[in-house]
């Protein structure tokens, strides 16, 4: 074993945090990324090989060069709204891409995979807390592609001897606690990065998508998981499947829910900025509540989230936003002086 792990999407938000965690745990992460949404500056803990997962020739070349023992598969298009408008891109990149990756892995005898799935596979929740055996009825093309990718991995595992951990993330958020990396998206659509942009003066206000949900303050509830805790879950999953030849499908979340309004209030408290909001209609396809039952991950992997309280999540996102925008103490002082 050479401890090398091929990380597809290693230049992306979660992939780059996973590379840092892999290196800290004695692995050699090799990022394979087409840079369609990732950022090459976030690849710091191992080499970057630029390539597309649909390009089997290039993938084979990289695999023959590094001989990875396992794959962490993050490369994926992830925007729900976009998937409704451009389903063909989602099926091509996500489903066909995973098909190519599995075939190259199989031909090159790579028998371990950790896969980045999503709570989107559950669709509209039928329970307050969602366990892994909740019905799988995705409600948008993004969710359909994630479920198809999961099923493909399970079918290949059964027929071709592959050990896997499918991790269904709830709402990944926050940034590296030492401030080295953070969100890498070229276009932000997620609530916390958008709130940080408003706080830093990059946007005027944020729309609240729905204030008539059946929750105490009328806004939708999500289970926010710190990206560093999420990365750690990948390391534990990789070790687990290596030791036990296991095949796992696990939720990764905290089991506590926060409303959109809770997140806005926390962002105001941490950033000490007013953060104007505008109430708007519900966003199509948004469930009112998505909270994980993550007991299995805690039990099987001995996984314990350390940074996933809302205050730490938002503080780390704010630290990253300030670094990204050069909004350090001096420029903040200047900005305030100008505002007065």
Q: Which residues bind ligand UFG (CB under 6 A)?
A: 78, 80, 118-120, 142, 171, 189-191, 194, 206-209, 220, 222, 260, 283, 286-287, 290
Rounded to 5 degrees, φ, ψ at 131 are: -95, 170
- Name the minimum Å distance from CB 128 to ligand UFG: 16
- Nearest residue to 51 via CA among 77, 70, 68, 30: 30
Q: Of 142, 156, 164, 169, which one is the catalytic site residue?
A: 142
Nearer to ligand UFG, 166 or 191 (CB): 191
Least spacing, CB of residue 129 vs ligand UFG, in Å: 16
We find the least distance from the C-beta atom of residue 59 to ligand UFG, in angstroms, to be 24
Instruction: Write down the least CB distance from residue 85 to ligand UFG, Å.
Output: 15
Report the nearest approach of ligand UFG to the CB of residue 14 (Å).
Answer: 10
For 317, the token pair is 């996102």
Strand bridging mode 247-252 / 4-8: unpaired
Q: Which is nearer to ligand UFG, 70 or 220 (CB)?
A: 220
Query: Could you tell me the smallest distance in angstroms from the CB atom of residue 242 to ligand UFG?
Result: 27
Nearer to ligand UFG (CB atom), residue 269 or residue 283: 283
Q: Pick the closer one to ligand UFG by CB: 237 or 252.
A: 252
> Phi/psi of residue 243, each to 5°?
-75, -40
User: How is residue 282 annotated by DSSP?
Assistant: P
Question: 5 vs 120, which CB is nearer to ligand UFG?
Answer: 120
DSSP H stretches of helix in the chain: 13-24, 56-66, 80-85, 87-90, 97-107, 141-160, 191-199, 227-244, 260-271, 295-301, 310-325, 329-339
Question: Distances in Å between the alpha carbon of 152 and those of 47, 80, 325?
Answer: 28, 21, 41
Can 142 be counted among the known catalytic residues?
yes
Distance CA 254, CA 311 (A): 14
CB 322 within 8 A of CB 179: no
Residues whose CB falls within 8 Å of the CB of residue 37, separated by 6 or more in sequence, listed in order: 12, 77, 184, 185, 186, 187
Of 64 and 283, which has the nearer Cβ to ligand UFG?
283
Least distance to ligand UFG from the beta carbon of 118, Å? 4
Nearer to ligand UFG, 28 or 116 (CB): 116
In a 3-state reduction of DSSP, which class is residue 187? coil
Burial 326-337 (b: 16+ CB within 10 A, else e): ebeeeeeeeeee
Which token pair is 137? 């009825």
d(CA 101, CA 313): 33
Q: Alpha-carbon distance 10 to 116, whole Å?
A: 12
Catalytic residues: 142
């Amino acid at each position: 074993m050479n401890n090398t792990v091929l990380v597809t999407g290693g230049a992306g938000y979660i992939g780059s945090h996973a590379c840092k965690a892999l290196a800290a745990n004695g692995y050699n992460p090799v990022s394979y990324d087409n840079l369609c949404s990732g950022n090459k500056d976030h690849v710091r803990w191992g080499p970057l090989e630029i390539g597309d997962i649909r390009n089997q020739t290039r993938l084979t070349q990289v695999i023959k060069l590094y001989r990875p023992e396992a794959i962490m598969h993050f490369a994926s298009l992830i925007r729900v709204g976009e998937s409704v408008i451009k389903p063909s891109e989602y099926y091509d990149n996500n489903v066909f891409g995973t098909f190519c990756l599995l075939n190259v892995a199989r031909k090159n005898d790579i028998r371990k995979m950790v896969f980045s799935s999503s709570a989107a596979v559950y669709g509209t929740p039928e329970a307050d807390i969602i366990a892994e055996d909740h019905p799988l009825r995705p409600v948008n093309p993004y969710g359909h592609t994630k479920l198809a990718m999961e099923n493909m991995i399970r079918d290949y595992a059964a027929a071709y001897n592959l050990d896997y951990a499918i991790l269904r993330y709830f709402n990944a958020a926050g940034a590296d606690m030492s401030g080295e990396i953070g969100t890498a998206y070229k276009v932000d659509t997620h609530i916390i990065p958008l709130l940080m942009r408003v706080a830093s003066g990059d946007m005027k206000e944020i729309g609240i998508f729905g204030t008539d949900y059946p929750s105490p303050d009328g806004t939708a509830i999500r289970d926010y998981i710190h990206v560093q805790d999420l990365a750690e879950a990948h390391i534990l999953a990789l070790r687990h499947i290596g030791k036990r030849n296991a095949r796992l499908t696990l939720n990764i979340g905290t089991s506590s829910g926060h409303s959109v309004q809770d997140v806005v209030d926390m962002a105001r408290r941490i950033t000490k900025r007013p953060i104007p909001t505008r109430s708007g209609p519900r966003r199509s396809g948004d469930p009112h509540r998505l909270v994980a039952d993550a007991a299995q991950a805690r039990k099987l992997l001995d996984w314990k989230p350390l940074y996933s309280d809302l205050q730490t999540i938002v503080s780390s996102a704010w630290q990253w936003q300030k670094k990204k925008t050069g909004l350090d103490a001096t420029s903040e002082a200047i900005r305030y002086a100008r505002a007065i």
